[in-house]
Homo-oligomer: A and B are copies of this chain.
């Protein structure tokens, strides 16, 4: 921990391994980290595979580094079932920051454990926060409740779209649009970029009438860096708004409350599983299977027995 706080990447990596495994050790580490967090600014960036998130993040990191900020990146990778691994191409692109002690990049696979690993992402973010990174970028494809949950822990949420992909494919997950603070139309030199931008603006106009923050829609070409400066400006503008309106504290309070609830839920689940022996469960299943009882009355009974 001491070494991690001094910026030792190997030590940070080892602590991340601790955070990835459920249990007492993780809980202890999180307790240690708790008093040290709250200084970093959290950015969530999401969009379908192929919209150019990683390239955009790469350019944002370059920009923020130019201003002297330390940046941590946590990328949740949906790995291909065929190729097995994460999108190496994207990861490799980030390698130009690999020797920079002011940039920590962690790629986490979401495959196999049904998002199990990626559940640790918010904990890793906290660790990087504690270790003195100024900006923490959480990058996900935004599919799946657990990923939406991760993005929601950010102070500013950036949603990236590209023209020509069809909005139903891009915004596959219900509710993802509603959490965007900034919208980016990347690959804006491609056909349909103007149309997509206008559609987004119309949608925002209708949905955010009278709102204190109206999400801007920005056009970028991440590949050559076009528009990244404007994106950073929009980001800072949103941060300023959050700070001045008191919304930042409100968001963070909400986040903490959710963390507490989530932890309570996890612990209860653990205890219930431990308390319920297999034989007993088998008897209950028999009753349901034979139409003699239903799962809900059984659940009621179990809960009542707990107290």
Minimum C-beta distance from A71 to chain B (A): 23
Query: Residue on B with the closest CB to A171?
Result: B81
Bound CA–CA A269/B262 (angstroms)? 9
Is the CB–CB distance between B141 and A78 below 8 Å? no
The verdict on A49 contacting B175 (CB below 8 Å), with A143-B143, A144-B143, A259-B295 known, is no
Report chain B residues within 8 Å CB of A307. 306-307
Stretch of A2-10, A213-221, A236-244, A281-289 on the interface side:
A281-289
Bound CA–CA A91/B80 (angstroms)? 30
Query: Residue on B with the closest CB to A295?
Result: B259
Contact of A263 among B109, B148, B167, B295 (CB under 8 A): B295
* Residue among A30, A111, A252, A299 with most chain B CB within 10 A: A299
Q: Which of A65-117 contact B (CB under 8 A)?
A: 78-82, 87, 109-115
Query: Residue on B with the closest CB to A261?
Result: B272
Sort chain A's interface into a size bin: 35 or more
Is the CB–CB distance between A78 and B172 below 8 Å? yes
Is the CB–CB distance between B269 and A265 below 8 Å? yes
Q: Does A293 contact B (CB under 8 A)?
A: yes
Is the CB–CB distance between B111 and A256 below 8 Å? no
Is the CB–CB distance between B48 and A172 below 8 Å? yes
Is the CB–CB distance between B172 and A141 below 8 Å? yes
Minimum C-beta distance from A118 to chain B (A): 8
Minimum C-beta distance from A60 to chain B (A): 22
Query: Residue on B with the closest CB to A263?
Result: B299
Is the CB–CB distance between A175 and B303 below 8 Å? no
Query: Residue on B with the closest CB to A260?
Result: B295
Report chain B residues within 8 Å CB of A113. 174-175
The verdict on A264 contacting B272 (CB below 8 Å), with A34-B294, A49-B168, A144-B145 known, is yes
Q: What are 23 inter-chain pairs, A to B, with CB distance below 8 A? A: A30-B295, A35-B291, A38-B291, A50-B168, A78-B168, A78-B173, A79-B174, A80-B167, A111-B174, A114-B148, A115-B174, A143-B172, A145-B146, A260-B299, A260-B302, A261-B269, A261-B273, A264-B269, A264-B272, A264-B303, A265-B268, A267-B299, A267-B300
Known: A260-B284, A264-B272. 15 other contacts (CB 8 A): A31-B294, A33-B294, A35-B291, A38-B291, A49-B166, A113-B175, A143-B143, A256-B285, A256-B288, A257-B281, A260-B299, A267-B300, A267-B303, A268-B269, A268-B272
